[in-house]
A = this chain, B = another copy of it.
Amino acid sequence: MARDYGTENWIDWCPGCGNFGIVSSVYRAFSELEVEPENTVVVSGIGCSGKMPHFIDVNGVHTLHGRAIPFATGIKMADPKLKVVVNGGDGDLLGIGAGHFVALGRRNLDVLVMMHDNRVYGLTKGQASPTLPRDTKTKALNTPSIQDAVEPLALALTSGYTHVARSFAMDSDHLKESIKDGMEHEGAAFLNILQPCVTYNDIHTSEYFNERIDKLEDWDPEDIDPTEAMDRSRIDEEIPIGLFYRDTETPTFEERIAEQLPSYQEKAPAEQDIEKNGKTILDQETFRSKFKGNLIRKEK
């Protein structure tokens, strides 16, 4: 019997919030993939999106604003058997957390990053987020935003993510499949999710997206140049959704580590015994030989 992955916590997003679409697609995706709750970790930042882990019945780590990626990185590196998914807001991942976002791409660590892209800072009452286009004045702004939007997919492609996709919170099937794809990819995967914020974003509404969304067809995301994917993913009149880019050649970070530390594959940090009967597993001899470079014998 498939689990439903819900928790008992009351979900306190605004009625109609796009996050409901996201969390229910997560339930469906997890259910279809039959993920093991104790071996799965949802790591989130701070924001409306940051509340995700409390609503999903797998391990949840609700971290700091902007830092979900490095938390997730430590978790995954120390225990690579865990399936790790990051949920973050657009402010979280591309504003305060942009440096980590870039760094994850450079590593190609096997983590899926799901960005709840509502183009505003929801939880702090509607300020402009890094994905809000210039000259846009959403509800809570005094004046239109004067910063250009960052293009999340272009940034992911530039940074080296090996799986780059966009989906829409209100298209449950598309999103569910996108999540599954992202989780099945081995390497750093980025999934940008267009998410209506019914309270603060009165411009990029469900209707707005519905009118513009254009599902990728006849597009082969493999064996292409990242810049091709960038061009294809760009938002103009239409908003293309789907998987734009996938690269399965570039080794994952785990593979790169294992190449240098062969025991990593079998004995990742979390798998190692470090004590025997309450004592260190190092013995005097091992210590001496390990640090022989520092040992000096008295010459008689």
Task: Report B-chain residues with C-beta under 8 Å of the C-beta of A158.
Answer: 150-151, 154-155, 157-158, 230
Given A99-B98, A99-B99, A103-B98, A108-B225 contact (CB < 8 Å):
no
A49 vs chain B, min Cβ distance (A): 18
Name which of A164-172, A252-260, A284-292 contacts chain B: A252-260
Given A155-B158, A158-B158, A225-B231, A148-B99 contact (CB < 8 Å):
no
Task: Report B-chain residues with C-beta under 8 Å of the C-beta of A108.
Answer: 148
A99 to B256, alpha carbons, bound, how many Å?
Answer: 26
**Cβ B98 vs Cβ A146 within 8 A:** no
Number of copies of chain A assembled together: 2
Chain A residues numbered 60-76 whose CB sits less than 8 Å from any CB in chain B: none
Q: Which bucket holds chain A's interface residue count?
A: 35 or more
A residues with a Cβ closer than 8 A to B are 94-99, 102-103, 105-108, 130, 134, 143-144, 146-151, 154-155, 157-160, 225, 227, 230-231, 250, 253, 256-257, 259-260
Chain A contact residues, majority secondary structure: helix
Closest to A142 in B: B260
Task: Report B-chain residues with C-beta under 8 Å of the C-beta of A155.
Answer: 102, 155, 158-159
Interface centre among A94, A146, A257, by most chain B C-beta atoms within 10 angstroms, is A146
Interface centre among A96, A130, A147, A231, by most chain B C-beta atoms within 10 angstroms, is A147
A143 to B256, alpha carbons, bound, how many Å?
Answer: 11
A214 to B8, alpha carbons, bound, how many Å?
Answer: 62
Closest to A260 in B: B143
**Cβ A106 vs Cβ B225 within 8 A:** no
Contact of A102 among B144, B150, B160, B257 (CB under 8 A): B150
